[in-house]
Structure 1
């Protein structure tokens, strides 16, 4: 166990050497885990046989990246001081509003034509900055989003990513697993006791039903919770917890490929909505709405998270990725406003 300052110093040194690393804290966790790779070798994920940190893209036809755990440090995070942000939140531009509203409108048309019942449509927002300090940004994420999986990932041959995601893809402990159906969004206004519209309830049910259908052949013993409201930063979501025991013949790779991408980030049915996204979003999501997490085949537990509320950092800008689930009851302008609300998670951290 090392101090917070020592851990942050090791991150900075690794970054100065332009060598790969990832640092992360699990939801409601108190420990930071830093994984260092000693070379800049780029290894793509071909199987789940090797231990390491997995960083996979949305497009499942493309391979993810496996970061080797050559050295691991752990620190009890106590919260380093940061100043409250007051700049970017008031400077959100509507430059992409028309394009996103038109995209959502096309999605709704296809839903009404019966192509799919839900599709998740996204956009990106560029935030110029000539003085980005990644460690300060990451520290703000840690301080402000304690119930999220907060990570900072870097590979010199791929790029620099950071996020605070509220959604678990799959958590495996021995033969037991848990996952969640997370969908529906509204802005948090000082209370988690809120009313949800039919659009959000239908959206969440689609995600839940898909997960249950997908897991039917993998587990014979599923437990499904009631739908609850959870807070993630300045937003509220609907969540259903799903637990079960894996059949002995399960394979982690097959399990993840069965779930990813879920209707929470793609749509339903998966194939039709995925094709629409790839044809009409007109940009590459890259690792946004992909998945990430640490895999250790020798130990009991592996956890993977959906890469939401994230951004890619460059020397002179940050690129924030946001999206939302579209159903037949969606309103295009309201969907745009939802993406603006979601962008605040990363905007609030840029400082």
Structure 2
């Protein structure tokens, strides 16, 4: 078991009492970290230790959970911790209908044929959460993706979210090393087959965007070799990008977010496409999550995630749309991206 009895119990108490908390695991690590405390809104000048969340397209504003309580302290003081009155944001209630998704995607494709570029269109998969053990779902989901940043958190401003992100937005260590990645292009796992033109084009948009944004801040980046990154039954095309940087990491993160991998390019036109064609609010999906600790700041894109409360859940899944996209293929891609999470949820019903 990844989650100890004390961490599972403390997290359940935090959800019940509406106390901000986070559980997370770094990529490749088998160590589960729990923290709980007060939440606050921070701006770019703040780089404090703790777990943070930035919602989609809210540059410069983050919600921070300070590491005030351990799991053991939550359990020991369970009888004296008052349930907070603040009502959390409710999950989206209804799944995206197939015909609505097809219509939206076709509109976007027609626009891209005229102007070029890329737009990321998402859909939601919603369901009844009344009988779900969310700590069991967390255990199952964390176990499936050991190479990702795995997280479960709750704040009054966001509600409760569970995710496993394969995409590093930014990492800055105490020695002045900066790391990020371009992760775009998706297909079912394939041995050594070449990537098709649509996926390569989608991926290249992201790589160029990141390198150009870093250069605009005076950061000269090096782009590594192409590699395939697996995520369950699918894989993504990836380039790792590195540089030297000793400044405030959130200045860079908010310059990069939302990346073309979650919004599109040109950014203003992609955001307009999203506003016009997605009927659901993205909230935390497509923003970022992460932690500042003794080793530095680690920031990951918030994706492959679900927003939930005691009554409903809402899974978010998206795909990069170009002039060459086909609605049936894109629908299948979003299904593949969400399937493992959906399985973990359904296997955790009482």
The two structures have a TM-score, normalised by structure 1, of: 0.86
> Does the 8 Å CA contact 1:181/1:240 hold for their aligned counterparts?
yes
TM-superposed CA distance for 1:223, in Å, is 1.9
Task: Give me the whole-angstrom Cα distance separating, in 2, the residues matched to 1:222 and 1:54.
Answer: 26
Q: Distance in 2 between matches of 1:9 and 1:215?
A: 42
Match of 1:313 in 2: 308
Alignment of 1:278-289 (within 5 A): 278-289=275-286
- TM-fit CA distance, 1:281: 1.0
Matches within 5 A, 1:33-112: 33-37=33-37, 39=38, 42-47=39-44, 48-60=46-58, 63-72=61-70, 96-112=97-113
2:195 is aligned to: 196
Cα separation, 2, equivalents of 1:72 and 1:215: 37
Within-5 A mapping of 1:135-214: 135-174=135-174, 175-188=176-189, 191-214=190-213
Structure 1 equivalent of residue 260 of structure 2: 263
> Could you tell me whether the CA contact under 8 Å between 1:150 and 1:164 is conserved in 2?
yes
- Corresponding residue pairs, total: 322
Measure the CA separation in 2 of the matches of 1:202 and 1:72: 46
1:192–1:288 Cα change, 3 Å: farther
Q: 307, 332, 337: which is aligned to 1:342? A: 337
Structure 1 residues 172-181 or 157-166, which shifts more? 157-166
Residues 27 and 148, structure 2, Cα contact 8 Å, conserved in 1? yes
Q: How does 1:178-257 map to 2 (within 5 A)?
A: 178-188=179-189, 191-246=190-245, 248=246, 250-257=247-254
Shift of 1:72: 4.5
**Quick one: distance in 2 between partners of 1:348 and 1:332?**
24
Of the structure 1 ranges 256-265 and 271-280, higher mean CA displacement relative to structure 2 is found in 271-280
Compared with structure 1, are the counterparts of its residues 254 and 94 closer, same or farther at alpha carbon in structure 2 (3 Å cutoff)? Answer: closer
User: Contact conserved, 1:154 with 1:161, CA < 8 A, in 2?
Assistant: yes
User: In the alignment, is the contact (CA less than 8 A) between 2:49 and 2:67 conserved in 1?
Assistant: yes
Quick check: 120-129 or 59-68, which moved more? 59-68
In the TM superposition, what are the counterparts of 1:2-17 in structure 2 within 5 Å?
4-17=4-17
Shift of 1:113: 1.7
Secondary structure of 2:127's match? Answer: strand
Of 142-151 and 211-220, deviating more is 211-220
The separation in 1 between residues aligned to 2:42 and 2:193, in whole angstroms, is: 42
Distance 2:287 2:96 in 1: 26
Secondary structure of the corresponding residue to residue 184 of structure 1 = strand
- Residue of structure 1 in register with 2:124 after alignment: 124
Task: Report the equivalent of 1:275.
Answer: 272
Cα distance in 1, alignment partners of residues 241 and 150 from structure 2: 22
- Deviating runs (4+, > 4 A) in structure 1? none
For 1:98 and 1:304, locate their aligned partners in 2 and report how far apart those are by CA, in whole Å. 35
How far apart, CA to CA, are the structure 2 residues paired with 1:20 and 1:9? 14
Residue 106 of structure 1 deviates from its aligned partner by 0.9
Structure 2 residues without counterparts, runs of 5 or longer: 73-93
Alignment check: 8 A CA contact 1:224 1:240 kept: yes
| Counterpart residue number, 2:323 | 328
SS of the aligned residue for 1:120 comes to strand
Deviations 1:297-316, CA, capped at 9 Å, x for gaps:
xx441100001100011212
For residues 145 and 157 of structure 1, the distance between their equivalents in structure 2, rounded to whole angstroms, comes to 27
